[in-house]
Chain A
Amino acid sequence: MEAKILEILEEHCEEALSYDGGSMMEDGIIDSFTVINVVSDLEDEFDIEIDAKYVVAENFRNKEAIIALVQKLLEE
């Protein structure tokens, strides 16, 4: 699963893979359009629905947070 998420991230925003800061959205690494595209691909890939309530800076602060979000949604 992790590898697939990283692959999706790499396709839309390579910088996200090496980012080690605290907030990709606030630091301008990942913009809202990229977030939407990443969400769309994650939904297709893992057959999950990512509600707007999960699309917050906290869940997209770095690649680990995105992996944790997908994991949480898969477990639900």
Chain B
Amino acid sequence: MQLISYAFVILWMFTFALYYLVPKKTQWCVLLGASLLFYVLGLKGIPVGLLLTGVTTYGCGLFLGRKLKQEKDALRRCSGKEEKKAVKAAFQKSRKRVQILYIAFNLGLLLFYKYAVIAAPFAERLTGAHAGFLERVIMPLGISFYTLTAISYVVDAGRENCEVETNPLKLLLFLAYFPSVTQGPFTRFQQMKEQFEREHAFRYDRMLRGIQRFVWGAFKKLVIADRMGIFVDRVYGMEASAVPGSILICATVLYMLQLYADFSGYIDMAAGVSESLDITLPDNFKRPYFAGSVAEFWRRWHISLGNWFKDYVMFSFVMSGIGRKISKACKNKGNGLGRQAAPVIGTMLVWFFTGIWHGRTVSYMLWGLYYGVIMSVSLVLEPNYAVWKEKLSIRDGRVWSLFRMARTWLIVFVADVLIRSTSLAQAGAIYTSFVRRLQIGSLLSREITSYGLSKYDFVLLFAALLLWLAVSVIEEWGFDVRTVIADRPLAVRWICYYGVVLLLLVTGIYGGSYDTAAFMYQSF
């Protein structure tokens, strides 16, 4: 079930009505019912993967809770510091063993579902038997998202950073909460539990704000992302040698914006639905294309995924036994650079996993390593930046900020060619075209309109992008656009609200029966 569909809007309306009608203590049950309905209708089958993850997560959580309680009791009985240390270490070891088993099982499930289809030919070659069943494996809806969400709960429970949930249905709601189950944002158990269990009273302004955010998200998806997608798909669907480099550059820039409009559009819609139900989802985007460095870009793009990798991979590795050993061994080597050894290895690990989390091809792996290398190099070189700036007499200001922003765009641009291309060979051919067959005139000639978008579409896209830019600048200045509009006179408010709705209805890219293209991050 797509978020932009009649079925979803009906589900949302019924959930909304029921949610505020039932006794407040049972509101979470309405959310659970809606989430399961959304999931089963979207999957069109029995959610085996989700249930397996749910059951193991619940069991592991209970085990950790019991062990933590036993540890506290045992510590109370200890007298000396050394004895306490030994008890702590013993309990930690048993908890870790179960956590590792749990993580291996669930990551194994994720890998199985993600790679079964491409593993089929290899399995056939290896065993000689037909592995058709692997080809028929369907990836469970949102598995890449709910698996990491479940792992975060188990790690947090083991670290005592969240409560252990004793009600399996409440845990299932956390994993399958319908606005965020298919594409995030990644949520943390404690934040969601408190919100699910709170009593929520109906508020007209909150409902209105939720709808506004949903419509704005749909606008970004249907008017901007899907329109850009037509051009990008057409250009990237052709032989790179048959397309001028300038058109390929244009298609790649549009792809960068398409991905952003599509994904942030989804997040706006999910957050809007959630807001109408008085549940706040974490921020996932903070205008990433205003970033002055790649590191900053990734602090602004898919924030909840970045935080997940930072908390559960980066910090876990650096503060683990191996990480500490590396830090200790390298600390005083390389003129102080040695102390960055563990963070650099952690960074490479994070980006390798980020790559394979996003996609099943070598291109995604390379894409991850590319960012890993850039981040690591900037980390190592960082202490020199101030000196170099001084030597080159570079002053902070608008020009310098614009240069940094352009540099970030360029780095992301190069990476996005890799993940948009269908193969490494195509990516190579496209990079070559950028240099050898630029033919800049193609951008200004009629040729640009021969890739699926008319002159009207380009004008419309330009206007929509200007509107999006204006909203982004206002947000970057620290204002909430919806509040700014709400404070204007009635006529201005109506022009803004109905203008966007009208544009959405008239200029959105719809299919034959007002169906829409799937969201891009759904396939990750």
- The answer to whether A and B come from one shared complex is yes
- Using CB atoms and an 8 Å cutoff, list the residues of chain A in contact with chain B: 28, 31-33, 35-37, 39-40, 50-53, 55-56
Contacts of A50 in B (CB 8 A): 319
Contact of A52 among B160, B320, B339 (CB under 8 A): B320
Q: Tell me the chain B residues, 303-334 only, with Cβ under 8 Å from chain A.
A: 310-311, 314-316, 318-320, 327
Q: A-B contact count, CB below 8 Å? A: 40
A40 touching B161, Cβ below 8 Å = no
How far is the CB of A58 from the nearest CB of chain B, in Å? 9
Q: Tell me the chain B residues, 151-165 only, with Cβ under 8 Å from chain A.
A: 159-161
Contacts of A52 in B (CB 8 A): 159, 315-316, 318-320
With A33-B343, A36-B343, A37-B339 in contact, do A55 and B299 touch (Cβ < 8 Å)? no
| B379 contacts A by Cβ under 8 Å | yes
Binding site of B, secondary structure by majority: helix, strand, loop or mixed?
A: helix
Contact of B339 among A28, A32, A40, A56 (CB under 8 A): A40
A56 touching B299, Cβ below 8 Å = no
Contacts of B296 in A (CB 8 A): 28
Contacts of B315 in A (CB 8 A): 32, 35-36, 52, 55
Binding site of A, secondary structure by majority: helix, strand, loop or mixed?
A: helix
With A28-B296, A28-B299, A31-B295 in contact, do A55 and B319 touch (Cβ < 8 Å)? yes
Contacts of B299 in A (CB 8 A): 28, 31
How far is the CB of B294 from the nearest CB of chain A, in Å? 12
A32 touching B161, Cβ below 8 Å = no
A36 touching B318, Cβ below 8 Å = yes
Measured CA separation A28–B295 after assembly (Å): 10
Contacts of A37 in B (CB 8 A): 339, 343
Q: Which 6 A-B pairs have the closest CB atoms?
A: A53-B159, A52-B319, A55-B315, A52-B315, A52-B316, A32-B310
Contacts of A36 in B (CB 8 A): 315, 318, 342-343, 346
A51 touching B319, Cβ below 8 Å = yes
Query: Chain A: which residue is nearest B158 at the CB level?
Result: A53
Interface-centre pick from A32, A35, A37, A55 (highest chain B CB count, 10 A)? A32
A40 touching B310, Cβ below 8 Å = no
With A28-B299, A33-B343, A52-B159 in contact, do A39 and B319 touch (Cβ < 8 Å)? yes
How far is the CB of B372 from the nearest CB of chain A, in Å? 13
Measured CA separation A50–B323 after assembly (Å): 13
Measured CA separation A32–B346 after assembly (Å): 11
Can you offer 6 A-B residue contacts whose CB atoms are under 8 A? A31-B295, A36-B343, A40-B339, A51-B159, A52-B319, A53-B161
Contacts of B314 in A (CB 8 A): 32
How far is the CB of A20 from the nearest CB of chain B, in Å? 16
Contact of A33 among B311, B320, B327, B379 (CB under 8 A): B379
How far is the CB of B491 from the nearest CB of chain A, in Å? 37
Measured CA separation A35–B316 after assembly (Å): 13
Contacts of B159 in A (CB 8 A): 51-53
Measured CA separation A55–B314 after assembly (Å): 11
